């Protein structure tokens, strides 16, 4: 005799759940020099703020998975993320995860660089408006806008939306502007915007490194973070501390051979208030891709 009761569905974790888990695994990886991690808090920004940020972001991520417009889903994710007292925990992560989640759903879960590039390129002026409104929910550290772009300064939040609509600027175009070199020496623009414009090359590459690596996934995430940090200057560090410090951090990361070696440096960066947050964003995106591609926890 078997039981005729209703068996609960046992779905594989969906893209929104994997995105939330990527946020949690990212912050749990340690050491991640300069950032909050399992072993380190900053003064006013603590581990639990990231936990609450990840939980709060999930409904917005579910909207991306359900096919809602990227801008709306992103704004909802940021609004939910902001329901904690630490301030901005995962704005940049969500900027990367929202189109990735949408692409994972669109592509019947065979997430590819082309798939996410198509999602990004298809964004509209409404998506740009959602992105700008997201700045209303939380203070985000950003660079000054390029010349002639004052009206589209992201810190203006919803106030900039009329200018966006007048000029017909899509979210992809906003990202393309932010990704452009910031000076005549070819210094690259915002690293997250470059992912958007280029089909997430660093996130996909780091995801493959995580997949090929051994050991607990949080250790693999910490190693991926260090490799990403050695590969390119961190945008947030450059914004907050200038190009010399950004270069120093990159060069120092390139000389680190193991997580053990990174421990003392992690304490040093926290003490100096140097927070390579953009590299953490790309790490979270890489973790999402790795989870979608079958890496297990």
Report the residue from 25, 36, 100, 236 that binds a second copy according to the rule CB under 8 A.
Answer: 25
Q: Provide the sign of the torsion angle of the four alpha carbons 211, 214, 217, 221, taken in this order.
A: negative
What do you get for the CA distance between the two ends of the chain, in Å? 36
Tokens linked to 112: 């590819």
Nearer Cβ to a second copy, position 60 or 189?
Answer: 60
Q: Which of 291, 293, 292 is nearest to 25 (CA)?
A: 291
- Assess 43 for contact with a second copy (CB under 8 A): no
Q: State which of positions 53-72 bind a second copy (CB under 8 A).
A: 54-56, 58-60, 72
Among 93, 120, 129, 222, binds a second copy (CB under 8 A): 129
- 254 lies in the site for a second copy, by CB under 8 A: no
Q: Does 46 participate in binding a second copy (rule CB under 8 A)?
A: yes
Q: How far is the CB of 25 from a second copy (least distance, A)?
A: 6
Considering beta carbons, is residue 66 or 297 the nearer one to a second copy?
297
State the residues that interact with a second copy by CB under 8 A: 1-3, 5-13, 17, 20-21, 24-25, 28, 38-39, 46-49, 51-52, 54-56, 58-60, 72, 75-76, 79-80, 83-85, 126, 129-130, 133, 137, 158, 161-162, 165, 216-218, 296-297
């Amino acid at each position: 005799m078997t039981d005729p009761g209703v068996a609960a569905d046992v779905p594989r974790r969906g893209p929104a759940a994997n995105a939330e888990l990527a946020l949690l695994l990212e912050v749990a990886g340690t050491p991640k020099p300069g950032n909050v991690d399992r072993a380190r808090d900053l003064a006013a920004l603590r581990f639990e703020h990231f936990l609450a940020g990840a939980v709060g972001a999930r409904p917005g991520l579910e909207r991306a998975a359900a096919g809602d417009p990227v801008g709306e889903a992103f704004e909802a994710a940021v609004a939910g993320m902001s329901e904690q007292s630490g301030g901005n925990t995962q704005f940049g992560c969500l900027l990367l995860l929202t189109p990735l989640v949408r692409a994972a759903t669109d592509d019947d879960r065979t997430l590819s660089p082309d798939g996410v590039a198509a999602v990004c390129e298809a964004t509209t002026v409404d998506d740009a408006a959602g992105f700008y409104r997201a700045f209303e929910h939380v203070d985000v550290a950003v660079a000054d806008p390029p010349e002639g772009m004052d009206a589209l300064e992201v810190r203006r939040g919803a106030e900039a939306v009329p200018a966006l609509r007048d000029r017909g600027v899509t979210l992809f175009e906003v990202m393309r502007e932010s990704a452009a070199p910031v000076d005549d020496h070819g210094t690259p623009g915002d690293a997250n915007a470059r992912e958007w414009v280029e089909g997430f090359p660093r996130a996909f590459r780091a995801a493959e490194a995580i997949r090929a690596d051994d050991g607990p996934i949080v250790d693999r995430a910490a190693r991926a973070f260090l490799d990403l940090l050695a590969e390119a200057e961190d945008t947030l560090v450059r914004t907050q501390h200038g190009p010399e410090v950004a270069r120093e951090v990159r060069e120092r990361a390139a000389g680190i051979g193991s997580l053990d070696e990174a421990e003392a440096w992690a304490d040093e960066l926290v003490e100096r208030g140097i927070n390579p947050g953009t590299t953490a964003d790309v790490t979270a995106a890489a973790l999402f891709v790795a989870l979608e591609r079958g890496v297990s926890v």
